[in-house]
């Protein structure tokens, strides 16, 4: 058997795959071309030279490829994307516009996500820096998504939309249109969460007057037409948000809505929880929406005349313009960008271009500042350590000073944080009270500060009120020092005497501590000013309104208490006017009393002024003349005596008055003798207290 003739490898391969494509045609072609060219043309530079157009085309192709790969779920390193984007500089190309679209979307999302009450005034100018005309669909989608995720921030997003609406009404109209369409779809699908978020956003747009209040009324009537638990709950939430605005702008509509709620509460078959929500809503309305204000003060950023209100109805045919959410190639991209730059310059001012150039740097600096503020907030403690350090500084400054002038000079250099100014007068008074005896050093410090300017005067006057109200907390020695300190300020006219209006000298409104304080205060005033000058000051008509509490004339009992108090502390001279007033005070006509009551009144020991007033009364004089002779048997002839009084002659009445006056004088003389004995035994303080319990006014001569 003959062997087959050997075949060449090339023929064998051709026979196996006659139509096969060469594995590396580029290599073979290049090899063939290189052999055809001269040797000089085979150099490397000739093969690597590429024009700018070729580079742009290659970068665009690579960018499109990466985008397609990324849309399929493949991860693309951001550095590689940025490198390709930096190579694409042709603004008329589709790839460049797509990159700008992606950057616009990220920027709008970032600004909306970081807005809050404190920075909304700074975020809105940055938002206008982006092309909101081109990206209005992105803005509406982003703000609706953010609001649905965080309902408590709805007032902030509504305030932002209101500001944008004043300059770009088409953006506000598109937002309202999408919210209405979203509410319609959610209502048909019975999607409670979306209905609640959409209605809440619409309510706050109504409050900001971006939307007319009629749309809120239509939604409420739709929800309450066929009430269910969910629809009534959504309606209650909507009414709480927009109720105040409805009451102000359209009272009849609000009345109709609440009538519908009332009928549902009484007639409809709804859950107990929902009934309770309706009752709470009526209470909110009764309280004038004090916890549900239409617009918070910090979010009231748009003037009423600048706002543009859209009258979109719930039943209108609306177009949500979903095409604005996706990228579309714009052949006139540069012209539209220039037009928006001019619009931005009108909105933000002529310097907006320069601001855009420094935008990146400002963003970084703002981020650094926010981080520093956050760190500062984290470090701040609530243990009042700063206040303790401030008080320590003031105390050490006072203690290290030799004379008042030096102390005031040092204290004026102490840095007081805003709102901590009252700590300085308080520390001066506290340091004064800690001394064993009163040191005039502190009074001179307080006097100089009170005379520097009106601020310190007001603070020391407030300190007087504070310490008088809390004087019962201090022991006697500290109380004495505080009283003498303020006595020095009053005697030197560093404080106005109107501070004495806080003192009400009567038995009910004073304590033992406050009475000691008043005693030491007036004794110090008398010592510093002299009794005559003090009397003249207390009798000055310009100050009388300030002393109505010290020298009360509203009630005889309080008047007697004040007279007895000042008499017991050795300052009876200041009570002369009160004694005269009490003596001449007209007595009210009293009804007929039982004999026992008349007897007890006549037998009680009274002051000179009381007996004099009694003697001047022609009706009570006969009865008083027989008080000691009558027995304590009820039903004595007190009433007949009063009945016969009008029939007596004038001469007879005068005669009885003279007899009564003589009797009163005899009683007073006996009382003076008794006072002298009791002074020796019990002292002036005990006598004054005993006299007060019996309703007496001690005469000045009895106290020395």
Looking at residue 548, its pLDDT comes to 87
Q: What is the distance between the alpha carbons of residues 121 and 167, in angstroms, rounded to a whole number?
A: 15
Sign of the alpha-carbon dihedral angle for 107, 108, 111, 114: negative
Decide: helix, strand or coil at residue 310: strand
To the nearest 10 degrees (0 to 180), the angle between helices 169-189 and 154-167 is 140
Q: What is the distance between the alpha carbons of residues 275 and 266, in angstroms, rounded to a whole number?
A: 9
Using alpha carbons, list the distances in angstroms from residue 619 to 133, 238, 602, 603, 614. 97, 75, 14, 17, 9
Looking at residue 190, its pLDDT comes to 92
Using alpha carbons, list the distances in angstroms from residue 244 to 310, 635, 637. 20, 70, 73
Q: What is the distance between the alpha carbons of residues 603 and 601, in angstroms, rounded to a whole number?
A: 6
Q: What is the distance between the alpha carbons of residues 163 and 272, in angstroms, rounded to a whole number?
A: 41
The whole-number mean pLDDT for each consecutive block of 10 residues of the chain, a chain of 704 residues, reads 43 43 44 44 48 67 62 61 64 78 91 92 91 92 94 94 93 94 94 94 94 93 91 94 91 90 86 91 91 89 89 90 87 88 83 50 59 54 75 90 89 86 91 92 91 88 92 92 93 90 90 92 91 89 86 87 90 86 71 47 42 39 38 39 43 65 76 70 56 56 45
Q: Which two tokens stand for residue 438?
A: 């009163």
Q: Phi and psi of 616, rounded to 5°?
A: -75, -10
Task: List beta partners, residue 310.
Answer: 211
Task: List beta partners, residue 93.
Answer: none
Q: Tokens 């959504």 label which residue?
A: 234
Nearest to 294 by CA among 232, 209, 211, 221: 209
Nearest to 446 by CA among 489, 482, 416, 476: 489
**Contact (CB, 8 A) for 639 and 592:** yes
Q: What angle do CA 107, 111, 117 make, to 5 degrees?
A: 175
Q: Which two tokens stand for residue 529?
A: 């000013």
Q: What is the DSSP track for 26-66?
A: HHHHHHHHHHHS-GGGG-SHHHH---HHHHHHHHHHHHHHH
Instruction: Give the chain's count of helices (H) and strands (E).
Output: 34, 0
E runs forming strands in 232-383: none
Side-chain-facing half-sphere of 440: CA atoms under 13 Å:
5
Q: What is the distance between the alpha carbons of residues 366 and 373, in angstroms, rounded to a whole number?
A: 10
Long-range contacts of 263-271 (CB under 8 A, 24+ apart): 264/224, 264/227, 264/232, 268/227, 268/232, 270/227, 270/228, 270/229, 270/232, 271/229
pTM > 0.75:
no
Q: What is the distance between the alpha carbons of residues 644 and 613, in angstroms, rounded to a whole number?
A: 21
Q: What is the distance between the alpha carbons of residues 583 and 383, in angstroms, rounded to a whole number?
A: 60
> How many Cβ atoms sit within 10 Å of the Cβ of residue 125?
15
> How many Cβ atoms sit within 10 Å of the Cβ of residue 541?
6
Nearest to 158 by CA among 113, 213, 208: 208
Q: What is the distance between the alpha carbons of residues 25 and 34, in angstroms, rounded to a whole number?
A: 14
Task: List beta partners, residue 211.
Answer: 310
Looking at residue 191, its pLDDT comes to 93
Q: What is the distance between the alpha carbons of residues 236 and 279, in angstroms, rounded to a whole number?
A: 10
Q: Tokens 């909507």 label which residue?
A: 238
């Amino acid at each position: 058997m003959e062997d087959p003739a050997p075949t060449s490898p090339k023929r064998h391969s051709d026979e196996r795959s006659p139509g096969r494509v060469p594995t590396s045609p580029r290599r073979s072609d290049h090899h063939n071309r290189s052999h055809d060219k001269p040797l000089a043309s085979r150099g490397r530079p000739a093969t690597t030279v590429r024009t700018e157009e070729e580079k742009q085309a290659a970068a665009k192709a690579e960018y499109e490829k990466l985008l397609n790969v990324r849309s399929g779920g493949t991860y693309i390193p951001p550095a590689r994307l940025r490198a390709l984007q930096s190579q694409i500089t042709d603004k008329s190309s589709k790839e460049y516009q797509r990159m700008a679209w992606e950057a616009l979307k990220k920027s709008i999302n970032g600004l909306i996500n970081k807005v809050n009450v404190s920075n909304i005034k700074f975020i809105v100018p940055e938002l206008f820096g982006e092309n909101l005309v081109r990206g209005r669909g992105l803005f509406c989608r982003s703000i609706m998504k953010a609001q649905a995720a965080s309902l408590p921030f709805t007032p902030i997003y509504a305030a932002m939309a209101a500001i944008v609406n004043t300059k770009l009404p088409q953006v506000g109209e598109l937002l309202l249109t999408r919210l209405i369409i979203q509410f319609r779809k959610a209502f048909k699908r019975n999607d409670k969460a979306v209905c609640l978020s959409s209605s809440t956003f619409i309510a706050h747009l109504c409050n900001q007057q971006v939307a007319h209040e009629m749309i809120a009324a239509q939604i409420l009537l739709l929800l309450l037409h066929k009430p269910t638990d969910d629809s009534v709950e959504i309606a209650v939430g909507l009414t709480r948000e927009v109720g105040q605005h409805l009451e102000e702008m359209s009272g009849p509509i609000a009345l109709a809505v609440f009538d519908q709620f009332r009928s549902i509460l009484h007639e409809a078959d709804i859950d107990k929880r929902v009934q309770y929500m309706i009752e709470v809503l009526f209470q909110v309305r009764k309280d004038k929406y004090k916890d549900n204000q239409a617009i918070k003060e910090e979010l009231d950023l748009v003037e009423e005349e600048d706002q543009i209100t859209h009258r979109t109805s719930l039943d209108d045919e609306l177009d949500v313009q979903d095409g604005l959410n996706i990228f579309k190639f714009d052949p006139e991209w540069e012209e539209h960008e220039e037009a928006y730059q001019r619009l931005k310059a009108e909105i933000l001012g002529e310097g907006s271009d320069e601001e855009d150039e420094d935008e990146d740097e400002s963003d970084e600096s703002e981020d650094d500042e926010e981080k520093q503020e956050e760190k500062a907030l984290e470090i701040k403690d609530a243990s009042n350590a700063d206040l303790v350090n401030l008080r320590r500084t003031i105390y050490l400054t006072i203690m290290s000073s030799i004379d008042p002038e030096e102390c005031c000079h040092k204290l004026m250099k102490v840095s007081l944080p805003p709102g901590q100014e009252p700590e300085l007068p308080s520390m001066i008074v506290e340091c004064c009270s800690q001394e064993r005896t009163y040191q005039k050093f502190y009074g001179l410090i307080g006097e100089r500060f009170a005379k520097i300017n009106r601020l310190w005067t007001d603070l020391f006057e407030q300190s007087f009120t504070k310490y008088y109200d809390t004087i019962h907390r201090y022991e006697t020695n500290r109380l004495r020092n505080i009283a003498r300190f303020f006595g020095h300020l009053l005697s030197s006219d560093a404080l106005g005497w109107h501070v004495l209006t806080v003192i009400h000298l009567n038995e009910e409104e004073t304590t033992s501590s406050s009475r000691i304080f008043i005693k030491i205060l007036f004794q110090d005033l008398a010592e510093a000013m002299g009794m005559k000058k003090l009397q003249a000051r207390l009798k000055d008509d310009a100050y009388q309104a300030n002393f109505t509490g010290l020298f009360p004339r509203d009630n005889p009992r309080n008047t007697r208490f004040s007279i007895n108090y000042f008499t017991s502390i050795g300052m009876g001279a200041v009570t002369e006017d009160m004694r005269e007033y009490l003596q001449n005070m007209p007595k009210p006509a009293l009804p007929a009393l039982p004999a026992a009551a008349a007897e007890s009144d006549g037998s009680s020991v009274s002051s000179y002024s009381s007996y004099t007033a009694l003697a001047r009364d022609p009706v009570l004089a006969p009865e008083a003349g027989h008080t000691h002779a009558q027995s304590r048997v009820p039903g004595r002839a007190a009433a007949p005596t009063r009945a016969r009084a009008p029939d007596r002659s004038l001469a007879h009445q005068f005669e009885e008055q003279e007899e009564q006056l003589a009797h009163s004088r005899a009683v007073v003389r006996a009382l003076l003798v008794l006072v002298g004995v009791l002074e020796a035994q019990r002292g002036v303080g005990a006598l004054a207290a005993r006299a007060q319990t019996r309703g007496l006014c001690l005469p000045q001569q009895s106290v020395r």
